[in-house]
Amino acid sequence: MEQASVPLQTAPGERTVSTRRRARGRPGARLAWIGQGFLLLLAAVVLYILITNLIKDPPLFAAFVLSGLQLGFVYALIALGYTMVYGIVRLINFAHGDVFMVGAFVSFYAVTRFQLHIWPAAVFPGLPSGLVVVIGSLTVVLLSMIVCTAMAVTIERVAYKPLRDAPRIAALITAIGVSFFLEFFGALYFVFSPRFIPYQRPFEVVTWYIKDGIHLVQAGQAPPPGSITFSNIFLIIVAASILVQLVLQFLVRRTKIGKAMRAASFDKPTARLMGIDVDGVISFTFAVGAAFAGLGGVLYAIAYSSIWTQLGILPGLKAFVAAVLGGIGSLPGAFVGALIMGQAEALTSGYISTPMRDAVAFTILIIVLLVKPTGLFGEAAGEKA
Amino acid sequence: MSVNLGFIVLSLVKIVAILAYLYGLFWAMGHANRLVKVAGVVLAFGIIQIALSVQIGETQILNDFDRGLLFQACTMTMVALGLNLIYGFNGQFSLAQWGFYGIGAYTAADITYRWNVRDARGLLVAGIGVILGGLMILAVGRLVRRYQGMPVLSQFTLYLIGSVLAGAVAVVIGNVLNPLLVPLFGTPDAPGILASPAVMQVVFLLAVLIAGAFAAGVSFLFGLPVLTLGSDYFGIATLGFSIVVQTLMVNTDTILPFPEMKGGRGMIGIPKLTTWFWAFLFLLAVIVIMRNLIHSSTGRAIMSVREDETAARAMGIDVAFYKLFAFVMGSFFAGIGGGVYAHYIGFLSPGTFDFLVGFNPLIIVVFGGLGSMTGTIAASFGWIFFLEGLLRVLLSQMGTEAPTWRYVLYPITLLLLMLLRPQGLLGNIEWGFLKRPAVALRARAAGK
């Protein structure tokens, strides 16, 4: 830098050392307004687009917001796993998105091949059909969660644990490797096959519309113009996501294992000295995160009804961005971040440009990290080596 | 399967021969005698050229398939060397390399494609844009350096405004100058001076260099804010960059104003100008530039950033500058590789630049050994000839799932390598020319 920069800023031999120092010493912080102005301009443009569209067609805007909410609550389920794992082992668990994908596929096979969603009707023929659907669907979800948990713990033991003391990038590359393996092993014909597979839902999607009260949308009938529609899967996703958030809050704040998790994320050697089984805590964290990713996978598949082996990549990445946005390591942060990401994606594809919705996610990531590196809810922990 | 045995043996012989060839080349280039150096390079060029063109009886020594592998290996080496500079030598975990490779490929392809259809705007706009952009970076850099600790976002805004202005001016100038050049192309019946093959070769050279410079410029703009993030975040942001670049490629004809790139259908009709001469020349240039860079004081500064940023800063090294410098240089190499690739394959589709494929150079760099140029070069050639050549042919005879199986095997090997030999296959071994020139440095120091 010495050779490169000095001749550029001072004519050789003309200025004395003191003037050069003075020339250098102008505080650049005064120019922060340039960057802030740029961001404000960007925000103003975005707001302008949104507000004009809101005024033009409020029901359409509401429809985009609802679809964004649905997406956001699914991202929240994935983001929780990212944020917990990163909070404890400082590893971007790339394979998390693929665990999400496996969750979707497990439920697909459970429903299509084994008819698991109607088992109560087969075992207890007299059961009312509503109860059958509820119990059956819960079983499917539970099965997916269990399989995902088992898989995540295996991955953690086989791939990540031996690298716990290696440089962090080595673990990151390993995580990418695991993610690749899951995607392409799944793409083999005797596993999941590389095709897009239409997903058979364990229960029917019912849609309502709001216009002068709530009405049911009849099959083969379009809702009247100017109405807002929502479906039962939307309600289920919202309820599940909020429930999971509450459960996790309870787990982390009130239980013994939660205390151990917080201790391990704070300082692993000290936690070990205090008699905490840190490896067990890490495995438990992976397990909990994977269980919720599996749940998210099932709900995502039901909502969007088409699955394939690379399904998890982009939701996984966006959920990670959401976790960073909210402040990595913070559970409410991941939740809020995911909702913001969902809105950003839905509104971008609605009003700016559908293909650029991924670009917006990463632009948000970069801007947030530059403006507030700790995220919205993050603690100023910084990056531990 | 019995037929394949001969093929396997032949392929393995080819891989060993290629590695021996590389060893010989670097040995000759590292020789003290200048005559040996020149003779070695010329010989190395000649051997392959002869093998490509001479026929013995019915068979060619290197057939078209091998030719394709060879060019692919050359481009992959350039891309992987660039990544090794960023990640191996400077320690910045970047996944954007494949995006810059794609940017380079599309830029170079657009320039020669337009030239082929008697339109000089591609060359003019890109060339003038790159030059103006470079001047703008120097000018704004001078302004920024007057202030101490200017927030990175403000710097970025200034550079962004500057590059938008430079681009706009370049477009205006290009559109003004283009009508002056169009008559020189002549008509298809009577080709003018600019349509001659010799001019085309020059345009190709310029196109590849401009592609590299353009990729470098984009990497400068992108790297400036993003390199200040932490290592993991930088990795994710660069991955996002690759995804965004691919999205833009799919929409070159809708979002971007380039109908000739034909969006997701892929760009066809790129003149196939890459010959062994050009591939060899560019590869050699990249290797020499990178080797000299690594063994200069700049290279030592770059490596010190990898070892310990705090200590490097304490030694008076401008960490942010060297991170950006390594990133820009690495992207420059990737852009050049992209330009060479586009003119060898003659067809560009966004699928080639999918970010999943983009992990290949990363895996090559990790395989060959971080911070080992020899490792990267050998791994690139071995990778292409083994996985793209041998394994592709073998597996395709076993079923339709060949590509998928290859991608199942990569990560497993990667995992095993990470667990068993994290320093890479070749570790810190360097061959001949690529070794640290200890004697020369000491002699210079004594001379002072």
Share of chain A above pLDDT 70, in %: 91
Predicted pLDDT at B305: 92
Q: How far is CA B25 from CA A274, B8, B29, B41, B47, in A?
A: 59, 25, 6, 7, 11
pLDDT at A22 over 50: no
Q: Is residue B328 a contact partner of residue B226, using CB atoms and an 8 Å limit?
A: no
Kindly list the residues from chain B whose CB atom is less than 8 angstroms away from the CB atom of residue A317: 236, 239-240, 243
Cβ atoms of residues A318 and A341 within 8 Å: yes
* Closest residue in A to B319 (Cα–Cα): A1
Question: What's the rounded mean pLDDT across residues A279-289?
Answer: 94
Amino acid present at B359? F
Distance CA(B387)–CA(B300), nearest Å, equals 34
Asked whether the predicted pLDDT for residue A8 surpasses 50, the reply is no
pLDDT band at A9 (very low <50, low <70, confident <90, very high): very low
Mean pLDDT on A154-168: 87
* Chain A, nearest residue to B247 by Cα: A355
Residues in chain A with CB shorter than 8 Å from the CB of B158 are 34
Least confident window among A101-110, B80-89, B150-159, B426-435: B426-435
End-to-end CA distance of chain A: 26
| pLDDT at position A156 | 93
Which two three-digit tokens encode residue B323? 């991170």
Of A27, A355, A365, the CB nearest to B250: A355
Among A91-95, A186-190, A360-364, B439-443, the minimum mean pLDDT is found in: B439-443
Q: Is the per-residue pLDDT at A149 higher than 90?
A: yes
DSSP state of A166: S
pLDDT band, residue A12 (cuts 50/70/90): very low
Judge: A373–B148 Cβ closer than 8 Å, yes or no: no
The DSSP H or E segment spanning A231 is strand A228-231
Answer yes or no: do A362 and B241 touch at CB < 8 A: yes
Other C-beta atoms closer than 10 Å to the C-beta of B382 total 20
Tens of pLDDT along B69-115? 899 999 999 999 999 999 989 989 899 999 999 999 999 999 999 98
Which member of B160, B407, B422 has the closest CB to residue A166? B422
Read off the pLDDT band of B183 (50, 70, 90). Answer: confident
Q: What is the pLDDT of residue A25?
A: 58
**What residues form DSSP beta bridges with A208?**
A216, A230
pTM: 0.88
Report pLDDT for B126: 93
Band of the pLDDT at B421, cuts 50, 70, 90? confident
Residue A24 is predicted with a pLDDT of 52
Counting one residue from chain A and one from chain B, the pairs whose CB atoms sit within 8 A come to 193
Is pLDDT of B374 > 80? yes
d(CA A365, nearest CA chain B) in Å:
7
Output B122 or B427, whichever has higher pLDDT: B122
Distance of CA A363 to the CA centre of its chain: 16
pLDDT of residue A124: 83
**Pairing state between β B59-60 and B55-56:** antiparallel
pLDDT one-digit tens code per residue, B245-279: 998 898 888 888 888 888 888 898 899 988 999 99
Task: Give percent above pLDDT 70 in chain B.
Answer: 94
User: What residues are paired with B191 via a beta bridge?
Assistant: B186
Q: Looking at the predicted structure, is the pLDDT value of residue A189 above 60?
A: yes
Number of Cβ within 10 Å of residue A266's Cβ equals: 12
Cross-chain residue pair B153–A38, CB shorter than 8 Å: yes
Closest of B348, B341, B342 to residue B265, by C-alpha = B348
- In this predicted structure, what is the pLDDT of residue A382? 44
- Mutation site, A366, A367, A368, A384, interface B, largest B CB count within 10 A: A366
pLDDT of residue A383: 43
For residue B440, what pLDDT band results from cuts at 50, 70 and 90? Answer: low
pLDDT-derived band at A6, boundaries 50, 70, 90: very low
By C-alpha distance, the chain B residue nearest A355 is B247
H helical segments located in B253-391: 276-294, 297-307, 309-314, 319-345, 359-368, 373-383
Model pLDDT for residues A111-123, shown as the tens digit of each residue: 988 888 888 888 8
* Residue A3 pLDDT class (50, 70, 90 cuts): very low
User: In this model, does residue B2 exceed pLDDT 60?
Assistant: no
User: A364 vs chain B: nearest CA distance in angstroms?
Assistant: 10
Reply yes or no on whether the pLDDT at A133 is more than 80.
yes
A92 with B362: Cβ contact below 8 A: no
Please judge whether A358 and B160 are an interchain contact, meaning their C-beta atoms are less than 8 angstroms apart: no
Least confident of A45-54, A212-221, B45-54: A212-221
d(CA B237, CA B241): 6
- Which pLDDT score is estimated for B438? 61
| Candidates B164, B414, B423, partner chain A, best to mutate (most A CBs within 10 A) | B414
Using alpha carbons, select from A213, A35, A244, A310 the residue that is nearest to residue B158. Answer: A35
What ipTM was assigned to the predicted interfaces of this complex?
0.82
A207-210 and A214-216 strand pairing: antiparallel
B232 to chain A nearest CA, in Å?
Answer: 7
Q: What is the mean pLDDT of residues A179-198?
A: 86
Instruction: Confirm if B326 and B87 have CB atoms less than 8 A apart.
Output: no
Strand, coil or helix: what is A193? coil
Of A182, A201, A166, A154, residue with least CA distance to A316: A182
Q: Are A197 and A108 in contact (CB under 8 A)?
A: yes
Average pLDDT over residues B353-376: 87
pLDDT, tens only, B188-224: 777 777 888 888 999 999 999 999 999 999 999 999 9
- Which residues in chain B (95-124) have CB-CB distances under 8 A to chain A? none
d(CA A83, CA A322): 9
Closest residue in chain B to residue A1, using alpha carbons only: B318
Longest dimension (CA), chain A: 98
Q: How far apart are CA B160 and CA A306, in angstroms?
A: 41
pLDDT tier for residue A69 given thresholds of 50, 70 and 90? very high
Q: Which residue, among B140, B150, B252, would best test binding to A if mutated, counting the most A CBs under 10 Å from its CB?
A: B150
Q: What is the mean pLDDT of residues B292-296?
A: 92
Spans of all domains in chain A = 74-310
Q: Quick check: B342 pLDDT over 60? A: yes
Decide if B37 contacts B28 (C-beta within 8 A). Answer: yes
- Integer CA distances (angstroms), A337 to A241, A251, A319, in order: 13, 21, 8
Domains of chain B: 69-118+186-382 (1.10.3470)
Phi, psi of B49 (to 5 degrees): -60, -45
Highest mean pLDDT among A213-217, A324-328, B424-428: A324-328
Residue B448's pLDDT is what? 43
Retrieve residue A149's tokens. 């948990």
Number of neighbours of residue A96 by Cβ within 10 angstroms? 30
Helix (H) or strand (E) holding A215: strand A214-216
Chain B residues in contact with A313 (beta carbon < 8 A): 356
Q: Nearest-CA neighbor of A256 among A270, A271, A236?
A: A271
Q: Strand A228-231 relative to strand A306-307: parallel, antiparallel, unpaired?
A: unpaired
If you average pLDDT over every residue of chain A, what do you get?
Answer: 84
Please list every residue in chain B whose beta carbon sits closer than 8 Å to the beta carbon of residue A373: 229-230
Residue A380: predicted pLDDT: 52
Q: Is B370 on the interface with A (CB under 8 A)?
A: no
Nearest CA in chain B to A321: B236
Instruction: Say yes or no for a CB contact (<8 Å) between B244 and A358.
Output: yes
Of A237, A289, A337, A241, whose CA–CA distance to A98 is shortest?
A289
The band of A2, judged by pLDDT with boundaries at 50, 70 and 90, is: very low
Q: Does B153 touch chain A (CB under 8 A)?
A: yes
Q: Which residue, B263, B109, B223, B218, is CA-closest to A355?
A: B263
**Which amino acid, one-letter code, is at A115?**
Q
A57 vs B131, higher pLDDT: B131
Q: Which range among A170-184, A240-254, B56-70 has the greatest average pLDDT? A: A240-254
Listed by number, the residues of chain B in 347-366 with a beta carbon closer than 8 Å to a beta carbon of chain A are: 356, 359, 362, 366
Q: Which class for B87: exposed (0-12), middle (13-18), buried (19 or more C-beta within 10 A)?
A: buried
Mutate to test the interface with A, among B362, B415, B421 (most CBs of A within 10 A): B415
Query: Model confidence over B130-170: pLDDT tens digits?
Result: 999 999 999 999 988 888 778 888 899 999 999 999 999 99
Opening angle at CA B136, ends B135 and B138, nearest 5: 65
Instruction: Reply yes or no on whether the pLDDT at B62 is more than 80.
Output: no
Contact at CB, A38 and B148, closer than 8 angstroms:
no
Residue B414: list chain A partners with CB under 8 A.
Answer: 173-174, 177, 180
